[in-house]
Amino acid sequence: MASFGSFALLIGLMLAAYNLVVGATALRLIAVGRPTAFSPERMAETARRAGIAVFVAVTAAAFALVWSVFHNDFSIEYIVEHSNRALPNPYKFAALWSGQEGSLILWAWLLGAYGFVLRLRHKTDVKLHAYAGTILAGVQVFFLLLLTFATHPFAGVRGGIAPDDGNGLNPLLQYPEMVIHPPMLYLGYVGFTIPFAFALGALMMRYPGEKWIHITRRWTMMTWMFLTIGIFLGMHWAYAVLGWGGYWGWDPVENASLMPWLTGTAFLHSVMMQEKRGMMKSWNVWLIFATFMLSILGTLLTRAGLVSSVHAFAQSSIGGWFVTFLVIVMAVCLFTYILQRDHLKTEHQLESLVSRESSFLFNNLVLLAACFTILWGTLFPVLSEYFEGVKKTVSGEYYKHVAIPIGVFLLLLTGVGPLLAWRASSFRSLRRNFILPGIAFVLTAAACIAAGLKPWADEPVFYSLMTFSLAAAVATAITSEFLRGAGVLHRQTGKNLLASMVLLVRRNTRRYGGYIVHLGLVIIFIGFAGYAFNRTSEMPMGPGDKMQIGPYTLVNLGNTQESNANYDSEFSQLDVYENGKKILDQPMSPEKRVYLVNGQPQTMVANHSTMRWDLYLVYEGTDQATGLPMIKAFLNPLVMWIWVGLSVVVFGTLVALVPSLSPARVAVKVAVPAGAMSGRTAVVTGGAD
Amino acid sequence: MAFFPGRSRLFSSRIARITQALLVAAVVCFSLGATDSTARFNELGGKLMCTCGCAQQLMGCDHVGCPNRGGEMDQLRSGIANGQSDKMILDGFVEQWGTTVLAAPTLQGFDLVAWIMPFAVAGLALLGTIFLVRHWAKQQPKLAAGVAGGQAQVDDAMQTRIRRETETE
């Protein structure tokens, strides 16, 4: 199977190279219009078909690796390093992306899958798809070169003798979310290649109008949604597995995923200005270039060992390949931009500082400032080592002071932007739109202070207060937008408010889906704000010992050890009481596992999650002084809000992806005077906008 | 004592109350002190990294049998108990473990760049954006006047454009 996989990768590389070279030649011939022996259109078609076949070849290679994992083929080094016989089947499947070579196959396979869909849909716009497909083939060539020559997944085991068993999967990765978190994240990273390819292709061919944006809008939104889900699943995994009581550690790997998300979010907003008003064309092109390059840079940062990371599971020496690729991509983008920049002249300019356009501009500014801050913080250890010869640490302590203010400002813009009109907002409309959110802000701030928050005493409490108040203001603004629109429809159609609201959303899914996404972000920010009030307690606990945290009393029922074929485990069982009353039927069981195959320990957190807070218990190990298990308890307020908010964001994105109801298909019931139509209700169509 | 048995009881009960009050006050004082030192311990602990190579902050390191976490925490506790200032404690850590033990860059020398740069870039970009928008906005009346001075016709294409641009999204 190893030979089959290697051969499939080689075939994939040759097909991708054919697509790149022949596709580029054909497009060049079409552009110059020079007569040739071969029809350039037919050449382009063969290139497209080769691009489709790349997907088949890479699928075969990925299948070969998965098959080898499931059949315990320990003649392959990758299988030895990332699997073993006792590994449960779902994790055997996850072994595909648990190491460098496997994760690059996953990357290449997803790229092939996206390319497959893109090339099948070529009839939408044959020429633009030909350009995008050729650029995509260039990216595929890079990854397949990497897989074939630099980090070969089917390389034979060192020493040539296959061991009886493998080293097993990293215990940190043996968690259900690891089966879906990396594919989601990669769907996001890889997916940005599509709008990048379209943007670069449209620029190369001086594509008129904004059609490339319309074509890629759904691609970009889907990609953004996958990246969002991937990031949050990663947060949840870190929260449940790493056992330090938090979900975001500002680790370089986490930062690497956040940077393209920030620029991708900026792009999703600023393309609206290009669609609506033909503005910010150069900006948009560079935003999507930057998003793609940040995806590659993130991979470089975490795999080349440039920066140390808690969860860099796949470090190696392939940094040089990524640097070369980044330089080539940058050079191509810069060259094409310089050559074609006159094509990107803006059609209009901003007319007012207080307008929807300028709010998008500021939103982009803040998102890019956040992106720069994170990039700067991630690279600062490297810079300090270069300039001072001493490596400095940049951890959450740094980001707490620099990134959180930017995040709070972004939350403010989330609420302000949608309340402003295109072109310019009048003072009257400003007053009308902002009065309710303003009241919500002031009332929430007052209520928080009355409840005992002292923003003047503590910086995190100040940011939490600001977040709660802004969240209330933004939620009020969004709700009032929904109610205002639904009210109008209610008067027009006679439907009840809920039905009017559904109709409102269906008529403009993009706008109201966007509002739902904003509402989800507000909920997520509320969850983040709870971090300022985290509490923790730690003590060795024997049977019958009690620990108090917040209103909860934890009573240790006993400590137990168990073993199975995969791991040994130690765990405590703790009953939870609140005001003397037992609140859980089953005791909580924080656990520590030690995997037999490699002796690596793993924390299994016990978490009782409610909308109010999470009671989060960690079995830290044995206390040397007492010989008892050390139990650490955290009381983390509002964490559940983050996961709920994510669901709302995903729902909102899905709503925005659904095509809006065509005005011609909207049935509007109009109550006609009794005399006119014998008291019946007439159904008319059209005029929904 | 036997002459005033009632007084004696009263006296002893007063003593008991005063003793209880003093004990409560002492417990409160000690617990307040404990709270202060705990808060300081947590605050300083948040400024330090675990030096075992796990790349986690000291207070977040959860490795079983971590060789360094316990020692660092003891060092921190003893520094606080000995009445050392925050700076002295952190300097002691830097002396022993190097600058990587600090969770964030300091406010001196090249480290200052780490703190200034994000705000400087954001500030400059903000000023630049405001300047740009104002510049564009100033140009608008001229354009509008140009249109008004010429033909005031609004053809179909113009109407479509206006509709597209003003439609709320």
Say if the Cβ atoms of A277 and B165 lie within 8 Å: yes
Contact A635, A629 (CB under 8 A): no
In a mutational test of the A interface, the residue from B64, B129, B130 whose CB has the highest number of chain A CBs within 10 Å is B64
Q: Is residue A679 part of a domain?
A: yes
CA pseudo-torsion sign A623, A628, A630, A635: negative
Backbone angles phi and psi of A156, in degrees to 5: -70, 160
Q: Per-residue DSSP letters for A416-432? A: HGGGSPSS---HHHHHH
Are A373 and A361 within 8 A, CB to CB? no
Q: Output the DSSP codes for A344-368.
A: G--S-----SSSHHHHHHHHHHHHH
Whether B58 has its CB under 8 Å from any CB of chain A: the answer is: no
B64 shares contact with chain A (CB less than 8 Å): yes
Which CATH number covers residue A135?
1.20.120
Residues A673 and A632 in one domain: no
Q: Which residues of A touch B117 (CB under 8 A)?
A: 376
| Per-residue pLDDT at A225 exceeds 70 | yes
Whether pLDDT at A439 is above 90: yes
Report the residue of chain A nearest B123, measured CA to CA: A369
The pair of structure tokens assigned to B136 is: 């564009």
From chain A, pick out residues whose CB is under 8 angstroms from the CB of B65: 621
pLDDT at B148 exceeding the cut of 50:
no
Helices (H) and strands (E) counted in chain B, each on its own, are 5, 0
Q: Which residues contact A277 (CB under 8 A, 6 or more apart)?
A: A347, A348, A357, A422, B165
Mutate to test the interface with B, among A221, A244, A254 (most CBs of B within 10 A): A244
A679 and A540, same domain (yes or no): no
Q: Report d(CA A472, CA A522) in Å as an integer.
A: 8
A600 in Cβ contact with A551 (< 8 Å):
no
The CA radius of gyration of chain A, in Å to the nearest whole number, is: 28
pLDDT digits (tens, 9 = 90+) for A574-596: 999 998 899 998 999 999 888 88
- By Cβ distance, the residue of A349, A353, A366 closest to B139 is A349
Whether the predicted pLDDT of A425 surpasses 70: no
Residues of B in contact with A310 (CB under 8 A): 54-56
Please give the Cα distance from A638 to A247 (Å, whole number): 12
Confidence grade of residue A671 (pLDDT, cut at 50, 70, 90): very low
Instruction: Please state which of the ranges A316-320, A444-448, A633-637, B62-66 shows the lowest mean pLDDT.
Output: B62-66
Do A604 and A669 belong to one domain? no
List, in sequence order, every beta strand (DSSP E) within A9-161: none
Once rounded to an integer, what is the mean pLDDT over residues A38-66? Answer: 92
CA distance A193 to A191: 5
What is the spatial order of strands in the sheet that A606-609 belongs to?
A535-540, A629-637, A613-622, A606-609
Q: Is residue A576 part of a domain?
A: yes
> Residue B158 pLDDT > 70, yes or no?
no
- Choose, out of B54, B136, B162, B163, the residue to mutate when testing the contact with A (most A CBs < 10 Å): B136
CB A355 within 8 A of CB A421: yes
Is residue A656 assigned to a domain?
no
Are the beta carbons of B137 and A621 separated by less than 8 Å? no
DSSP result, A544-609:
T-EEEETTEEEEEEEEEEEE-SSEEEEEEEEEEEETTEE--SSPB--EEEEETTT--EEEE-EEEE
Q: Say whether pLDDT at A122 is over 70.
A: yes
- What separation in angstroms does the CA of A188 have from each of A174, A220, A298, A605? 22, 9, 13, 28
Q: Is the entire prediction scored with pTM above 0.90?
A: no
Residues in B closer than 8 angstroms to A632, CB to CB, are: 62
Give the SS3 label for residue B150.
Answer: coil
Per-residue confidence (pLDDT) for residue A7, from 0 to 100: 92
Task: Collapse the DSSP code of A453 into the 3-class scheme (helix H, G, I; strand E, B; otherwise coil) and give the result.
Answer: coil
Of A118, A143, A173, the residue that ends a domain is A173
Supply the pLDDT for residue B30.
41
More confident residue, A273 or A442: A442
pLDDT on residue A673: 45
DSSP states of A469-496: HHHHHHHHHHHHHHHHHHHHHHHHH---
- Whether residue B56 and residue A396 make contact (CB cut-off 8 A), yes or no, is no
- Beta-carbon contacts below 8 Å between A and B: 142
Minimal C-alpha gap between B115 and chain A (Å): 7
Enumerate residues 6+ apart whose C-beta is below 8 A from A338. none
Res. B156 pLDDT band, cuts 50 70 90: low
CB spacing of B100 vs A392 below 8 angstroms:
yes
Domain that holds residue A611: 534-640
Closest Cα in chain B, distance from residue A172 (Å): 12
**B1-104 placed in CATH 1.10.8:** yes
Same domain, A11 and A137: yes
Label residues A324-352 b or e (16+ Cβ within 10 Å = b): ebeeebeeebeebbeebeebbebebbbbb
Could B168 and A391 be called an inter-chain contact, meaning their C-beta atoms sit closer than 8 Å? Answer: no
* Rounded distance between C-alpha atoms, residue A512 and residue A522, angstroms: 15
CA-nearest residue to B94 within chain A is A392
CB distance A361–B60 less than 8 Å?
no
Based on the domain organization, do A674 and A604 belong to the same domain?
A: no
Distance, CA of A92 to CA of A77 (rounded, Å): 15
Q: What secondary structure letter does DSSP report for A71?
A: T
Query: Is there a contact between A273 and A355 (Cβ–Cβ < 8 Å)?
Result: no
Convert the pLDDT of each residue in A393-417 to its tens digit.
888 889 988 989 889 988 988 888 7
Nearest to A592 by CA among A625, A559, A614: A559
Best residue of A350, A409, A458, A568 to probe chain B, by most B CBs closer than 10 Å: A350
**Considering only alpha carbons, which residue of chain A is nearest residue B122?**
A369
Which phi and psi (to 5°) does residue A658 adopt?
A: -75, 135
Residue A508's nearest CA partner among B167, B160, B164, B169 is B169
Backbone φ and ψ of A632, nearest 5°:
-115, 130
Residue A617's φ and ψ, nearest 5 degrees, are -110, 135
Q: How many angstroms separate the Cα of A553 from the Cα of each of A585, A614, A632?
A: 15, 14, 13
Domain co-membership, A17 together with A138: yes
For A186, the 3-state DSSP assignment is helix
Contact A397, A357 (CB under 8 A): no
B92 touching chain A per CB within 8 A: no
**Predicted pLDDT of residue B34:** 43
The predicted pLDDT at position A433 comes to 80
Query: Are A615 and A682 found together in one domain?
Result: no
Contact assignment for A393 to B169 by CB distance below 8 Å: no
pLDDT (average), residues A495-499? 88
DSSP label at A162? -
Amino acid, res. A106: L
Same domain, A621 and A689: no
The answer to whether residues A606 and A670 belong to one domain is no
- Say what the pLDDT of residue A363 is: 87
> Is B49 within 8 Å of chain A by CB?
yes
CB-CB under 8 Å, B125 with A365: yes
Contact A244 B62 (CB under 8 A): yes
Both tokens of residue A78? 């990758």
Which of the two residues, A239 and A428, has the higher pLDDT score? A239
The pair of three-digit structure tokens given for residue A651, joined into one six-digit string: 């729902």
**pLDDT band per the 50, 70, 90 thresholds, residue A134:** very high
Q: Report yes or no on A451 lying in a domain.
A: no
What pLDDT, on the 0 to 100 scale, is given for residue B13? 62
Q: Averaged over A95-104, what is the pLDDT?
A: 84
Contact: B122, A369; criterion CB under 8 Å? yes
User: Which residues, 6 or more positions from A636, have their beta carbon under 8 angstroms from its beta carbon?
Assistant: A245, A530, A531, A534, A613, A614, A616
Two tokens at B93? 């850590």
Do A166 and A82 lie in a common domain?
yes
Summarised one tens digit per residue, pLDDT across range B78-119 is 888 888 888 889 888 888 888 888 888 988 888 899 999 999
Residue A4 covered by a domain: yes
pLDDT level of residue A688 (50, 70, 90 thresholds)? very low
Q: Do A391 and B65 touch (CB under 8 A)?
A: no
CB contact under 8 A, A390 and B98: yes
Rounded average pLDDT over A623-646: 91
Q: How far apart are CA B165 and CA B160, in angstroms?
A: 9
Judged by CB atoms closer than 8 Å, whether chains meet at B165 and A362 is answered as no
In tens, the pLDDT along B16-28 reads: 666 565 555 544 4
Query: Quick one: pLDDT at residue A304?
Result: 65
DSSP code for A206: T
DSSP per-residue codes, A228-296: HHHHHHHHHHIIIII-SS-S----HHHHHHHHHHHHHHHHHHHHHHHHHHS--HHHHHHHHHHHHHHHH
Asked if B110 reaches chain A (Cβ–Cβ under 8 Å), the answer is yes
Q: Which band of pLDDT confidence, cut at 50, 70 and 90, is reported for residue A617?
A: very high
Same domain assignment for residues A688 and A540: no
Q: How many domains does chain A have?
A: 3
For residues A538 and A672, membership in a common domain is answered with no
The DSSP output letter for A668 is E
pLDDT band with cut points at 50, 70 and 90 for residue B151: very low
Task: Tell me how crowded residue A567 is: count the other CB atoms within 10 A of its CB.
Answer: 22
Chain B residue with the nearest C-alpha to that of A485 = B168
Query: How crowded is the C-beta side of A112, counted as CA atoms within 13 Å?
Result: 27
Does residue A160 register a pLDDT over 80? Answer: no
Mean pLDDT of A227-252: 88
Residue A557 lies in a domain: yes
Amino acid at A221: M
Q: Does B103 touch chain A (CB under 8 A)?
A: yes
Within an 8 Å CB–CB cutoff, is residue B80 touching chain A?
Answer: no
Between CA A106 and CA A108 the distance in angstroms is 5
pLDDT digits (tens, 9 = 90+) for A290-347: 999 999 988 777 766 666 655 555 556 788 888 899 999 999 999 999 998 888 777 6
Q: What percent of chain B is modeled with pLDDT above 70?
A: 58
Q: Residue B134's beta-bridge partner residues?
A: none
Length of chain B: 169
pLDDT, greater one: A208 or A22: A22
Position B164 scores a pLDDT of: 56
Specify the higher pLDDT residue, B86 or A57. Answer: A57
B-chain residues near A368 (CB < 8 A): 125
A603 domain-assigned: yes
pLDDT reported for residue A444: 95
Domain annotation covers residue A660 = no
- Checking if the pLDDT of A246 tops 90, the result is no
Compute the average pLDDT of residues A123-141.
91
Interchain CB distance below 8 Å, B60 and A397: no
Backbone angles phi, psi at A355, to 5 degrees: -150, 165
The two three-digit tokens of residue A481, written as one number? 């937008």
Query: Does the beta carbon of B76 lie under 8 angstroms from any beta carbon of chain A?
Result: no
For residue B31, is pLDDT > 50? no
Give the pLDDT band of residue A215 (cuts 50, 70, 90). confident
Binned at pLDDT 50, 70 and 90, residue B64 comes out as low
User: What stretch of H or E contains A300?
Assistant: helix A281-303
pLDDT tens by residue, A178-194 = 778 888 989 999 999 99
* Partner residue opposite A380 with nearest CB, options B47, B101, B105: B105
Q: A559, A642, A574: which is closest to A606 by C-alpha?
A: A574
Contacts of A529 (CB under 8 A, 6+ apart): A463, A464, A467, A468, A471, A638
Interchain pair B140, A349: CB under 8 A: yes
Mean pLDDT of chain A: 86
The more confident residue out of A279 and A572 is: A572
